[in-house]
Amino acid sequence: MNNKINDFLGILRDNNYEQKYYSSIDEIDILPFTKEDNPEDNSEDIIGDNPVDNPEDIQDYFDAKASDSLTYYELNGYSDFNDLKDYLNENLYEFKIEFIADGYAKDKSLKNELIQQVSLIKKELSELKETVKFRKDFALIALIRTKTNFCDEVISFINNQENRIKPRRQKDSDNPNRLKQKEVVLLFYYLRDLGLISKGMQNNEYAQYISDLTGYEAEKIRQDLSYINNELQSNEGGHFQESDYEGIKRRLVQKLIKTLSADYKEKFKKDL
């Protein structure tokens, strides 16, 4: 397996938390949990002043804020579960890119091995959670729960890759209106270049998604995406011909405008 996959598994597996100490009580950010603690506050104000990304994280948020001693704990270098979540998300993204780009979705034995490893890590996290309960440090428990959730996300991702159905590679003769491979690449290149879809994906990941949608081979799509970048930057042609641009205009752009205009006229009784 490649480095990014091993790196992320190593992060999930590294659960040696560190005990730290605040230098003074002023460093601790404590929020009241009832009106008796602070009559001027209420739960709505607490959530509003300390937003969380996902409603499911609210329990983690309050658990984390319940720690009220000079002792605190770090897991993977983080004491706040939101910061840990951001860190794990960044590394999970790299994990997914390599998993897709290197074709691991087709390797059943490797997928089973990964699922077994992550399941074992999840079991170890569950045992760790039980052993730290006596500390009554809810922030630490929130950190452990965050990593457990990521284990579930990794397993779900791998299983979803296994269940993805590759579209049948159609012959151009099956449907003369179907975009050819280079025309497909041009379409998706300009969709991304114009910002109509996310620009955040690398070419290898983007090519895999295009392949899943169209049935064309992912590696050839990735190469074509690179060719477009190189040709436009150097202002030199070669790989993409005039006929490729004319084909996408004829098979897609003109027909799209014609169909859209007809549907618009029928629906709104006027020309687009």
Q: Model confidence over 108-164: pLDDT tens digits? A: 888 899 999 999 999 999 999 998 888 778 889 999 999 999 999 999 999 887 555
Which positions ≥6 away from 77 have C-beta within 8 Å? 87
Lowest mean pLDDT among 9-23, 36-50, 123-137, 163-177: 36-50
List alpha helices for the chain, DSSP H: 3-13, 43-49, 58-65, 81-101, 108-132, 138-163, 181-193, 203-214, 218-234, 242-248, 254-268
Give CA separation, 47 vs 40, 60, 84, 137, 144, in Å. Answer: 14, 12, 19, 21, 22
Q: Model confidence over 215-251: pLDDT tens digits? A: 888 888 988 988 887 777 776 667 888 888 888 888 8
Quote the pTM value: 0.50
pLDDT range class, residue 198, cuts 50, 70, 90: confident
Rounded CA gap, 12 and 266, in Å? 56
Phi-psi region of 32 (alpha: psi -120 to 50; beta: other; left: phi over 0): beta
Whether residue 203 contacts residue 230, with contact meaning beta carbons closer than 8 Å, is answered with no
* pLDDT score of 9 more than 90: yes
Best CA proximity match to 239, nearest among 199, 194, 193, 186: 186
pLDDT of residue 87: 93
Whether residue 178 contacts residue 170, with contact meaning beta carbons closer than 8 Å, is answered with yes
Which positions ≥6 away from 84 have C-beta within 8 Å? 75, 76, 78, 143, 146, 147
Say which amino acid occupies 171.
Answer: K
Give CA separation, 167 vs 56, 133, 217, in Å. Answer: 35, 49, 11
What are the φ and ψ backbone dihedral angles of 182, each rounded to 5 degrees?
Answer: -65, -35
Q: Which residues pair with 19 in a beta bridge?
A: 73
pLDDT range class, residue 207, cuts 50, 70, 90: confident
pLDDT range class, residue 46, cuts 50, 70, 90: very low
What average pLDDT score do residues 26-42 get?
42
Lowest mean pLDDT among 87-91, 167-171, 204-208: 167-171
Domain boundaries, the chain: 3-163, 181-268
Q: Model confidence over 73-116: pLDDT tens digits? A: 899 999 999 999 999 999 998 898 888 877 787 788 888 999 99
Rounded CA gap, 271 and 264, in Å? 7
Give CA separation, 39 vs 7, 43, 58, 67, 85, in Å. Answer: 47, 11, 21, 20, 32
* pLDDT score of 169 more than 60: no
pLDDT, greater one: 40 or 15? 15
DSSP string, 46-66: HHHHS--SSGGGHHHHHHHHT
* pLDDT score of 43 more than 50: no
* Angle at alpha carbon of residue 146, lines to 140 and 151, rounded to 5°: 130
pLDDT, greater one: 48 or 20? 20
